[in-house]
Amino acid sequence: MKNLLLICTGGTIASTKTEGGLAPGLSPEELLRRVPDARAFCHIDAVQPMNLDSTNIDPSHWLALSALIEENYGRYDGFVICHGTDTLAYSGAALSYLIQGARKPIVLTGAQRPIDREDTDARQNLLDSLRYASAGDSGVCIVFGGHVIAGTRARKTRTKSYNAFSSINFPDIAELRDHRVVRFIPCGESGAPRFAHALNTRVMLLKLIPGLPADSFAAVSAHCNGLIIESYGVGGIPDAYLPQLEALAQAGKTIVLATQVPQEGSDLSVYQVGHRVKERYQLLEPYDMTLESTVTKLMWVLGQTQEPREVRRLFYTPVNHDLLF
């Protein structure tokens, strides 16, 4: 049987009722007591490095989780992280960049209802995650509602339903069916794992809306090294903001021009409003990447280098199925 490390971080799966609403309160031991069948196919140790509603998760927690896995990588066959659903997709993407080349499964899961509820999805999600981690597949992924999603491709698309997560612009890599793992996409990780130890959190997101004040660009520019602009459709910058874009470029900011549309990605070559700015300002384009991956990848890239050519090379190097273009 495989030896697994269960890493509990809080979230709905471990929450209990309080006067002010649900809050994390259950221990790892209490979670494991709810899935006794797991003991038939794996040995499980458990730790709880944090106990948070995932609304409170930030990049320091991603680094802590990566460091914990690095510290224990040689001792376990796989890792399962119990996590709140609200920022789970960001954490899955961040860990995909912080831990590359892992030949062991690193699985994130959570639930829409606490595990001590009768009508919960938590027990099945946790059991599926432990089963998937015991199957020996490699890399960072999210297991939720029977689906196995690459860590860079997940997005929470429903706030209440049990099928809360979707794989964006990429198929599920596997499913859990009748206690079996049915894999659709071969494992892509090989070699020794590579752990990164730095993220540049001076990354900001500016979402375009009609009538956005032009000085919004200067306001965010003062607080970032990298700016992601969420534009419309396949991507473009309104004429009114070209002077602001020029100022950002002159200030040496890394600029990524993304799309607000979840499916099918950007293509700045289609319209003049996109083509002219990509060519003139050497903008980065995330194509079919999720917003969660775009944000965390830029943090990872700028944590390694701020040299423009190397930033471009790393940003366009595919990691864990994050980019197809």
125 and 247 inside one domain: no
Q: What is the CATH number of the domain that holds 62?
A: 3.40.50.1170
pLDDT at residue 5 is higher than 70: yes
Residue after which a domain boundary falls, among 195, 222, 244: 195
Predicted TM-score (pTM) of the model is: 0.96
Give the C-alpha separation, 162 to 146, whole Å: 10
Give the C-alpha separation, 19 to 7, whole Å: 27
**Per-residue pLDDT tens digits for 30-63:** 999 999 999 999 999 999 999 999 999 999 999 9
Neighbours of 200 (CB within 10 A): 19
167 and 251 inside one domain: no
pLDDT value of residue 268: 86
Q: Is there a domain that residue 262 lies in? A: yes
173 and 286 inside one domain: no
Active site includes 12? yes
Q: Is 39 helix (H, G, I), strand (E, B) or coil?
A: helix
pLDDT at residue 269 is higher than 90: no
pLDDT at residue 87 is higher than 80: yes
239 and 103 inside one domain: no
186 and 212 inside one domain: no
Neighbours of 211 (CB within 10 A): 6
Give the C-alpha separation, 98 to 84, whole Å: 19
Q: Is there a domain that residue 324 lies in? A: no
273 and 126 inside one domain: no
161 and 210 inside one domain: no
Pair of tokens at residue 141: 């992924």
- Determine which one of 9, 12, 290, 296 is catalytic: 12
71 and 151 inside one domain: yes
Residue 195 burial class via C-beta count within 10 angstroms: exposed 0-12, middle 13-18, buried 19 and up = middle
**Per-residue pLDDT tens digits for 285-312:** 999 999 999 999 999 999 999 999 999 9
Residue after which a domain boundary falls, among 195, 212, 241: 195
Give the C-alpha separation, 157 to 288, whole Å: 17
Residue after which a domain boundary falls, among 195, 224, 239: 195
48 and 186 inside one domain: yes
Per the structure, the count of domains in the chain is 2
Q: Is there a domain that residue 325 lies in? A: no
Neighbours of 245 (CB within 10 A): 21
Task: Give the residue with greater pLDDT, 192 vs 302.
Answer: 302
183 and 303 inside one domain: no
Q: Is there a domain that residue 323 lies in? A: no
Residue 289 belongs to what domain range? 203-315
**Per-residue pLDDT tens digits for 113-145:** 999 999 999 999 999 999 999 998 889 999 999
289 and 248 inside one domain: yes
Q: What is the CATH number of the domain that holds 266?
A: 3.40.50.40
Contact between 13 and 31 under an 8 Å Cβ cutoff? The reply is: yes
**Terminal-residue alpha carbon distance, the chain:** 40
For the segment 170-175, the average pLDDT, to the nearest whole number, is 96
12 and 146 inside one domain: yes
